[in-house]
Amino acid sequence: MNIFEQKSRFGEYGRTGVLHTRAGDVLTPTFMPDGTRGAVKGLTPQQVVDTGVGVVLANTYHLHLQPGEAVIKELGGLHAFANRKGPMLTDSGGFQVFSLGEHVKITEEGVHFKDPKTGDKRFISPEKSMQIQLDLGADMIVAFDHLIGLGDETETEVKDAFDRTHRWLERCIVEFKRLTKDMDEAERPLLFGVVQGGLNLKLRKKSLEIVQESEVDGIAIGGLSVGETRAEMETVLKALAPLYRDDRPRFLLGVGTPEDLKIAVENGIDMLDCVLPTRNARHATVWTSKTCDAPSCQTAELSALKELEANSVVETSGTQSSYQVYDSFRASVSPSSSSSRKSYRAKGKNNQTIENHSTPSNELICSQCGDLLSEKIHLTNER
């Protein structure tokens, strides 16, 4: 099966294409909202579809802990559980496991950790990660890798994680083949191998070479957006950009600000995921633009929006922020459609101070959203 078709190029390394999955085709570049437990917080399944989302990402670690892959499988799989017909992707669970810090013990076999809620001992290996993701029923899955942060880690620690990631990839591939051996090519999920190496460009390039030579369907870039600067992330992406094969999708894990999306797609990335649009909205921060076509921009009256409490603002702004993520993609692949974005904090409970997170050069736009923003910022200045 021809998994990825490159359709056009823009800039030096950017491209558009079509990713073929068993649940349908996905136009790329695409942003994948994180539905941690299968559902994107603050949005109904239909609202997710309406924003233009091609893929929803679900989190293996959280679903494994609750309700468990066996329960989801019995219910008909992730699509039935999430009430979604379109493509779904699960990550390996590695990021969340390694983020537990001192509660994690890493061995060559896998990772031992405690359930944060119950204290029960848990274990995830490369094989177990494949088993969980196949039981969940995702259309795309990610190999289990050894994530390392960008704090005080030594070169030796980075190299050890780099080597273990590739040994684990081999085990993931063996287990994936075993689990899918009876599936037709068109029925099986796609497997992504993970590129690691920290900020060491030599290791990053070698990791990409190893993953691309492996029997995987897609390339995932891991270990970024974990504490490095935007410039450091861009340096890594620029180093990898000329080395990608054209016939495989490229997925940058855990990156999602509008600025980062632009950097990523200009350097050849096809897929990105992040919690930011809906997480920010749940904390009363939204993105807006001069081409805002979210329901809150198109249908809400200013007088009504002004009176919304924080939780109500979140309900409308979750969809609005998701629309603006896609607007940033339109701007990336078609410079003529670029737009100004503005982020702001809406009115909080008990009339607490309203923060303005916008940049001075951004324009206020959209008769409703623009007026609302002007008034909110004006109130902030008065206080």
DSSP 111-137: EEEE-TTT--EEEE-HHHHHHHHHHHT
Please name the residues in contact with 85: beta carbons below 8 A apart, sequence gap of 6 or more.
Answer: 23, 24, 79
**Rounded to whole angstroms, how far apart are CA atoms 33 and 21?**
17
Q: How is residue 102 annotated by DSSP?
A: G
Is the pLDDT at 174 greater than 90, yes or no? yes
Query: Comparing 171-185, 289-303, 326-340, which segment has the lowest mean pLDDT?
Result: 326-340
Which one-letter amino acid corresponds to residue 240?
L
Evaluate if residue 335 carries a pLDDT over 50. Answer: no
* Cα–Cα distance, 339 to 330 (Å, whole number): 9
91-98 mean pLDDT: 75
Q: Does position 334 have pLDDT exceeding 60, yes or no?
A: no
Average pLDDT of 127-135?
A: 97
Residue 13 has pLDDT above 80, yes or no: yes
Mean pLDDT, residues 350-371: 32
Could you tell me if 212 and 333 lie in one domain?
A: no
Report the pLDDT averaged over residues 231-255: 97
Q: pLDDT-derived band of residue 240, with 50, 70 and 90 as boundaries?
A: very high
Which residues contact residue 170 at a Cβ distance below 8 angstroms, ignoring those fewer than 6 apart? 214
- Residues 229, 251, single domain; the answer is yes
Looking at 245, 274, 303, the residue that finishes a domain is: 274
Average pLDDT for residues 267-291, to the nearest whole number?
74
For 165-218, the DSSP string reads: HHHHHHHHHHHHHHHHTTS-TTTSPEEEEEE--TT-HHHHHHHHHHHHHSS-SE
User: 366: domain range?
Assistant: 283-382
Domain boundary among 223, 251, 274: 274
**pLDDT top residue among 302 and 111:** 111
Q: Which of 248, 274, 300 is the last residue of a domain?
A: 274
pLDDT band with cut points at 50, 70 and 90 for residue 117: confident
Residues 266 and 237 in one domain: yes
User: Do the Cβ atoms of 23 and 82 come closer than 8 Å?
Assistant: no
Please report the sign of the dihedral spanned by the C-alpha atoms of residue 14, residue 17, residue 20, residue 24. Answer: positive
**What is the distance, to the nearest Å, from the Cα of residue 2 to the centroid of all Cα atoms in its chain?**
24
Whether the model clears a pTM of 0.85, i.e. scores above it, the answer is: no
d(CA 165, CA 207): 9
The tokens for 22 are 């068993």
Q: What's the pLDDT at 274?
A: 85
Burial of 340 (0-12, 13-18, 19+ CB in 10 A): middle
Q: Is the dihedral of CA 122, 125, 131, 133 positive or negative?
A: positive
Burial of 229 (0-12, 13-18, 19+ CB in 10 A): exposed
Asked whether the bond before 29 is cis by omega within 30 degrees of 0, the reply is: yes
pLDDT confidence band for 346 (50 / 70 / 90) = very low
Q: Are residues 270 and 291 in the same domain?
A: no
255 and 291 assigned to the same domain: no
Instruction: Cite the DSSP H helix spans in 241-343.
Output: 258-266, 276-282, 295-299, 302-307, 310-333
Between helices 310-333 and 258-266, what is the axis angle to 10°? Answer: 20
Locus of tokens 């109130």: 379
Average pLDDT over residues 151-178: 93
> Would the pLDDT of 120 be above 70?
yes
State whether residue 271 is helix, strand or coil.
strand
Tell me what pLDDT residue 290 has: 63
pLDDT exceeds 60 at position 140: yes
Q: Answer yes or no: is pLDDT of 275 > 90.
A: no
Residue 169 has pLDDT above 70, yes or no: yes
> What's the mean pLDDT in 132-154?
90
Q: List the end-to-end C-alpha distance of the chain, in Å, as a whole number.
A: 61
Bigger pLDDT: 259 or 207? 207
Does residue 269 have a pLDDT over 60?
Answer: yes
Coil, helix or strand for 163? helix
Max intra-chain CA distance, the chain: 67
Residues 162 and 248 in one domain: yes
% of the chain at pLDDT higher than 90: 52
- The reported pLDDT for the residue numbered 312 is 47
Asked if 200 and 304 sit in the same domain, the reply is no
The model's confidence at residue 287, banded by pLDDT at 50, 70 and 90, is: low
Residue 48 pLDDT = 81
Confidence of residue 50 (pLDDT cuts 50, 70, 90): confident
At residue 274, the 3 state secondary structure works out as strand
Give residue 44's pLDDT: 81
Same domain? For 263 and 291 the reply is no
Bridge pairing between strands 271-274 and 250-252:
parallel
Which whole number is the average pLDDT over 289-314? 57
Per-residue pLDDT, averaged over 48-77, amounts to 91
- 106 in the Ramachandran plot: left (φ > 0), alpha (ψ -120 to 50) or beta? beta
- 266-275, 292-301, 352-361 — which is least confidently predicted? 352-361
243 lies in the same domain as 294: no
12 and 88 belong to one structural domain: yes
How long is the chain? 383
Tell me, what CATH number does 171's domain have? 3.20.20.105
Q: Which of 9-13, 61-65, 281-285, 356-360 has the lowest mean pLDDT?
A: 356-360
Are 106 and 245 members of one domain? yes
- How many domains is the chain partitioned into structurally? 2
Compute the average pLDDT of residues 69-85.
Answer: 94
Considering only CA atoms, which of 87, 125, 82 is closest in space to residue 106? 125
Let me know whether 269 and 301 are in one domain: no
Which residue is associated with the tokens 């259309």?
139
**pLDDT of the residue at 371:** 30
Upstream peptide bond of 67 is cis (omega within 30 degrees of 0): yes
Q: Which residues are catalytic?
A: 91, 273
- Which among 294, 275, 291 has a CA at the least distance from the CA of 283? 275
What's the pLDDT band for 226 if we cut at 50, 70, 90? confident
Please tell me whether residue 268 adopts helix, strand or coil conformation.
coil
Residue range 285-301: average pLDDT?
Answer: 65
